[in-house]
Amino acid sequence: MSASSYPEISFEARMATVEFRIDEDRAHITVDDTICRDCSTRGCITACPANLFVPTAAGGILFNYEQCFECGTCYLVCNREGAITWTYPEGGHGVVFHRS
Amino acid sequence: MLVAACVKLVDLRPQVDRVSGAVTPSATPGCSAADRAAVELALTLADSWSASSAVVCCGPAAADPVLREFAASGAGRLVRLDVDGAPDSSIVGRLLAGVLGDLGADVVVCGDYSTDRGSGSVPAWVADGLGAAQALGLVQVRSEGVGSLRATRRLDGGRRERLVVDAPCVVSVEGSLAELRRAPLAAALAARDLPIEVVDAPGVVVPAPLATRPWVPPTRVQPAPTGSAALERVVELTGALVERTPPRTVELPPRQAAELILEQLRTWGYLDADDSTPGGTAAT
Amino acid sequence: MSDFDVVVVGAGPAGSAAAIELARAGRSVCLLERGPSPGSKNMYGGVVYGRILDTLVPAWWEQVPVQRWVTRRSTMLIHDEQALTVDFRNPGWGAAPFNGATTFRPDFDAWLAGVAVDAGAVLVCSTTATGLIREGGRVVGVRTDRPDGDLRAPVVIACDGVNSFLAKEAGMYPHTGAENFTVGVKETIALPREVIDERFAVRGDEGVDIEILGCTGDVPGGGFVYTNATSVAVGLVLSLPALAAGPDRPEELLRRLKAHPAVAPLVEGGEVLEYSAHVIPEAGYRMMPELVGDGILVAGDAAAMCLAAGIWLEGVNFAIGSGAAAGRAATRALARGDASAAGLAAYREMLESGFVLADHRRLRDAPHLVMGDLAQRGLPAVACGVMEDLFTVRNPEPKQGVRRIVRNRMRRNGIRVRDAVREGLRAVRTFG
Ligand SMILES: Cc1cc2nc3c(=O)[nH]c(=O)nc-3n(C[C@H](O)[C@H](O)[C@H](O)COP(=O)(O)OP(=O)(O)OC[C@H]3O[C@@H](n4cnc5c(N)ncnc54)[C@H](O)[C@@H]3O)c2cc1C
Ligand code: SF4
Ligand code: SF4
């Protein structure tokens, strides 16, 4: 096997290696974009390992819960009360690790 | 009235090597989304018709924990046809039809096709074995009164077909049709060591699994181009300037269209001149 | 009316250990897990130190789903392109009773939960505990997200991991500032067994554990490389506040580690099998919550019992140790019919007299030291610089003395002898 047979992968390909059993009915994390507009730190954007916090042109945050590791980083680094509502997904849903 | 769902135990997350095509099985057995939707539909119908329900699986003992989950969600009877390996769809269909007949199933719901290279033909074989009506690949099903279904099926080109199917019938559904209901906690606890009715299936021949290889386009022998200049040889190889029959688009009613296709197949030699079945030698 | 004697929330190592003790003592115990199977929500670096299992599961090494037995431990200091590695090999760790094993958490946790089920515990997966049921200030069960999902029991053991919403709801967990936490990210990369054997110079089921310092740029943290049977795990542990301050994202930092000349030859060329992330309670003893309440015990990561002190990253063994103690304490309290905080108080005593709190108390300054500037930047820079000066032959210039080299390198990196000595003494006091 040659050393360079698998090059560095894109972020999408990286996330595609992970199984997510998505709950279509409920977002386990929601972000109140109106609070984010006044946020100057925006730690969630660099810290979320799944890169789920996307800044919008309007100065807010676009968030999608589907490919979430349920790690807790975002609510720990966010210091604006009420910006992030964080719960675990319904039992059996969400991330499923196999080789970690 | 009995509404039964048929499910198959599959590997939910096999690892396929992108380079070699080799498949490594995972430790995640379960039922596909379509099978789970089938169970949900069976439970919904049974509820609304005050009928009883059953889940039938043709597979190994490893399927038992998955079957118990369905019981926790409300399935009345759990039956497993004890078969190891992957027999041909026709055999699975016949076996299931036998069990379903014994159970007295009036309406049978299956997933549209299993995720492990399934062809979706098991429900058809079941219908054949039961002598029941069939409606396959449904995206929507509503009850039209006890034993009667109004269903929507996906057709090519984004079209939909609406059907009314009455018991006895076999339907197969897509995974998006419904999500299996969540089992109440007490039911989940009670189902943990529920017995499963195991039916023996002696004498079932399970063919060895097909060897898998990465797909390689078939090669053809091509005579070397004869032109003297490189450009000539390239043109000859690509066949760019060779005369050919241009493709033809016709719009005809179905019957005439079918006849035209048969006619064309005869012209190409796929069918004998006096034969209407494919294969050419079927008359012998 | 109680459904069980004890409800254990979380089928990680802490929860399963608690359930094993309770079930073996003849108690009815329900082990709740929110994932579809135990371990499916859990990731870690890669090594379980199994000796804690000696009493719980005799000859555990014959049963544990092991990838490789660690017989080689390295500590690597990285500075720019350079790396200094201290490498220790001990073939003795490759035979019973063993020391550390690499294993995947979905495998390991499922195995340990299986031991609990065999002992008589009732495992219920795909079920999230959403809150505590309380009566008169006393915990008497948990709510779950199943229909009719209340579960009542005189004792609840919260083993629900680092985010422990149960301990927080019980008001036992005050230290929730981001500075107490790190996040771990990791790639599991497939490589053929022979390639791993060759690159890491091991044979058979021998494995390697490499801890790395100085590889996380401006973010305090550390890195690791572990060998599995046919894959390697490479990852980073990153301080949350610094990561949030930006500008680098975790996967970019990980990419840089993988591209480092000392790491790339070990991990390059394989297919990424899985990417994963999980938070670690970093601050150890200083962030621990209250451990005992009326009708509730907290164990494992939920009680910040992970030991994250630089060259040590151990949490599974501490989770098992604390979970088992919680199980024993609950058994005792139930036998006496007193599940109040006073009745359950033996839990804390057991931890104090065992390794769990002894190690944590002794190493309480370690997280701070390891995450400090001196360990993160100064130490790797000086160590690599000293090595460079020591081994670069500059003939016809004569060689310099080691003391002079060290002093020069320290000055060049802006480290004052006084500070180094002070931190050094603290380190001796902490680790010594
Ligand atoms: C990157 C990284 C590297 C690490 N490396 C190592 C290492 O090499 N060696 C080592 O020994 N340790 C390591 N650790 C630490 C170790 O993983 C943890 O300390 C250990 O897993 C703690 O075990 P636990 O049982 O307390 O919690 P967890 O393992 O987190 O288990 C908690 C369980 O509870 C479940 N749960 C949570 N909330 C609920 C709820 N509300 N309802 C139902 N279930 C719930 C979760 O699904 C999970 O299964 C590492 C950690 C990280 C993040
Ligand atoms: S989620 Fe929190 S940290 Fe992120 S932008 Fe909003 S307020 Fe700021
Ligand atoms: S829990 Fe972790 S992965 Fe999920 S959104 Fe928050 S930071 Fe991102």
Highest mean pLDDT among B30-39, C303-312, C413-422: B30-39
What's residue C403's pLDDT?
A: 92
**Higher pLDDT among residues C369 and B183, named by residue:** B183
**Higher pLDDT among residues C417 and B34, named by residue:** B34
Test A89 with C128 for CB contact under 8 angstroms. Answer: yes
Give the CA distances from residue C337 to residues A71, C30, C107, C349, in Å, rounded to whole numbers and listed in that order: 38, 19, 37, 19
Q: Is residue A58 part of a domain?
A: yes
CA atoms within 13 A on the CB side of B244: 7
Q: Is residue A98 part of a domain?
A: no
Test C105 with A100 for CB contact under 8 angstroms. Answer: yes
Structural domains in chain A (count): 1
User: Cα torsion for C402, C407, C411, C416, to the nearest 10°?
Assistant: 140
C225 in helix, strand or coil? strand
Nearest CA in chain A to C243: A47
What's residue B227's pLDDT?
A: 87
What's residue B240's pLDDT?
A: 84
What's residue C430's pLDDT?
A: 83
What's residue B277's pLDDT?
A: 55
Structure token pair of residue B181? 């209901």
Atom of ligand 2 nearest to the CA of A33: 6
Residues B145-181 have pLDDT tens digits of: 999 999 999 988 889 999 999 999 999 999 999 999 9
Nearest CA in chain A to B178: A24
Q: Is residue A1 part of a domain?
A: no
What's residue B221's pLDDT?
A: 81
A62 touches chain C (CB under 8 A): no
pLDDT band at B5 (very low <50, low <70, confident <90, very high): very high
Residues B87-139 have pLDDT tens digits of: 889 999 999 999 999 999 999 999 998 888 788 999 999 999 999 999 999 99
The protein residue whose alpha carbon is closest to atom 2 in ligand 2 is: A78
Q: Which ligand minimizes its atom distance to the CA of C108?
A: 1
User: Rounded mean pLDDT of chain B?
Assistant: 89
Q: Is residue A13 part of a domain?
A: no
Structure token pair of residue C240? 């949350």
Test B184 with C151 for CB contact under 8 angstroms. Answer: no
Percent of chain C with pLDDT over 90: 88
d(CA C239, CA A46): 12
Which domain covers residue A59, as residue numbers? 23-92
With contacts defined as CB-CB under 8 Å, which chain B residues touch C30? Answer: 189
Give the CA distances from residue C391 to residues A14, C88, C396, C399, in Å, rounded to whole numbers and listed in that order: 40, 21, 14, 9
Select the residue of A13, A18, A89 nearest C274 (Cβ to Cβ).
Answer: A18
B183 in helix, strand or coil? coil
DSSP-derived pairing of the beta strands C29-32 and C6-9: parallel
**Higher pLDDT among residues C116 and B224, named by residue:** C116
What's residue C426's pLDDT?
A: 85
Residues A6-26 have pLDDT tens digits of: 778 899 999 999 999 999 999
Q: What is the dihedral sign for C-alpha B120, B122, B127, B128?
A: positive
A94 touches chain C (CB under 8 A): yes
d(CA A51, CA A15): 10
What's residue A3's pLDDT?
A: 44
Touching B (3+ Cβ pairs <8 A), the chains are A, C
User: Rounded mean pLDDT of chain C?
Assistant: 95
The protein residue whose alpha carbon is closest to atom 45 in ligand 1 is: C10
In chain B, CATH 3.40.50.620 covers: 2-200
What's residue C246's pLDDT?
A: 86
Mutate to test the pocket of ligand 1, among A21, A70, A76, A88 (most ligand atoms within 8 A of CB): A88
What's residue B211's pLDDT?
A: 67
Cβ burial, residue B154 (10 Å; 0-12/13-18/19+): middle
Structure token pair of residue C44? 């870690």
The protein residue whose alpha carbon is closest to atom 7 in ligand 2 is: A36
Q: Let me know: does B60 contact B83? Beta carbons within 8 Å.
A: yes
A10 touches chain C (CB under 8 A): no
Residues 6+ apart with CB under 8 A from C131: C142, C143, C165, C166, C169
**Higher pLDDT among residues C375 and B116, named by residue:** C375
Give the CATH number, domain containing residue A64. 3.30.70.20
Give the CA distances from residue C359 to residues B37, C284, C362, C394, in Å, rounded to whole numbers and listed in that order: 51, 10, 5, 46
Atom of ligand 1 nearest to the CA of C164: 38
Rounded to the nearest 5°, which phi and psi values hold at A41?
-80, -45
Residues C189-229 have pLDDT tens digits of: 999 999 999 999 999 999 999 999 999 999 999 999 999 99
Amino acid in position B21:
G
What's residue A74's pLDDT?
A: 98
Of B68-82, B93-107, B216-230, C300-314, the range with the lowest mean pLDDT is: B216-230
pLDDT band at B284 (very low <50, low <70, confident <90, very high): very low
Q: Let me know: does A44 contact C244? Beta carbons within 8 Å.
A: yes
d(CA C183, CA A86): 17
C87 touches chain B (CB under 8 A): no
C430 touches chain A (CB under 8 A): no
The ipTM, to two decimals, is 0.95
Q: Which ligand minimizes its atom distance to the CA of C30?
A: 1
Highest mean pLDDT among A64-68, C398-402, C423-427: A64-68
CA distance C228 to chain A (A): 10
The residues lining ligand 3, judged by C-beta closer than 6 Å to any ligand atom, are A 29, 48-50, 52, 68-74
Instruction: List the beta strands (DSSP E) in chain B.
Output: 2-7, 10-11, 15-16, 23-24, 29-30, 52-59, 77-82, 107-111, 133-143, 148-154, 160-166, 169-173, 197-200
Nearest CA in chain A to C47: A100
How far separated are the first and last CA of chain A, in Å rounded? 24
Superfamily of domain B2-200: HUPs (3.40.50.620)
d(CA C320, CA C13): 5
pLDDT exceeds cutoff 50 at C111: yes
Test C146 with B188 for CB contact under 8 angstroms. Answer: yes
Q: What is the DSSP string of C147-191?
A: TT--EE-SEEEE---TT-HHHHHTT------GGGEEEEEEEEEE-
The protein residue whose alpha carbon is closest to atom 2 in ligand 1 is: C44
- Residue indicated by tokens 């916090």: A53
Atom of ligand 1 nearest to the CA of C318: 19
Structure token pair of residue C33? 């897990």
d(CA C150, CA A43): 37
B33 touches chain C (CB under 8 A): no
Residues A30-46 have pLDDT tens digits of: 999 999 999 999 999 99
Test B185 with C271 for CB contact under 8 angstroms. Answer: no
> Ligand 3 centroid vs A71 CA: distance in angstroms?
5
For chain B positions 174-193, those within 8 Å of chain C (CB to CB) are 182-186, 188-189, 192
CA distance B15 to chain A (A): 10
pLDDT band at B283 (very low <50, low <70, confident <90, very high): very low
What's residue B212's pLDDT?
A: 64
Tell how many helices (H) and how many strands (E) occur in chain B: 7, 13
Q: Is residue A45 part of a domain?
A: yes
Q: Which ligand minimizes its atom distance to the CA of C41?
A: 1
What's residue C53's pLDDT?
A: 96
pLDDT exceeds cutoff 70 at B280: no
Nearest CA in chain B to C273: B15
d(CA C346, CA C354): 12
d(CA C365, CA C430): 6
d(CA B109, CA B123): 8
Q: Let me know: does C9 contact C160? Beta carbons within 8 Å.
A: yes
A47 touches chain C (CB under 8 A): yes
Compute the average pLDDT of residues B229-236. Answer: 91
What's residue B26's pLDDT?
A: 82
pLDDT exceeds cutoff 50 at A1: no
Of B199-208, C333-342, C379-388, the range with the lowest mean pLDDT is: B199-208
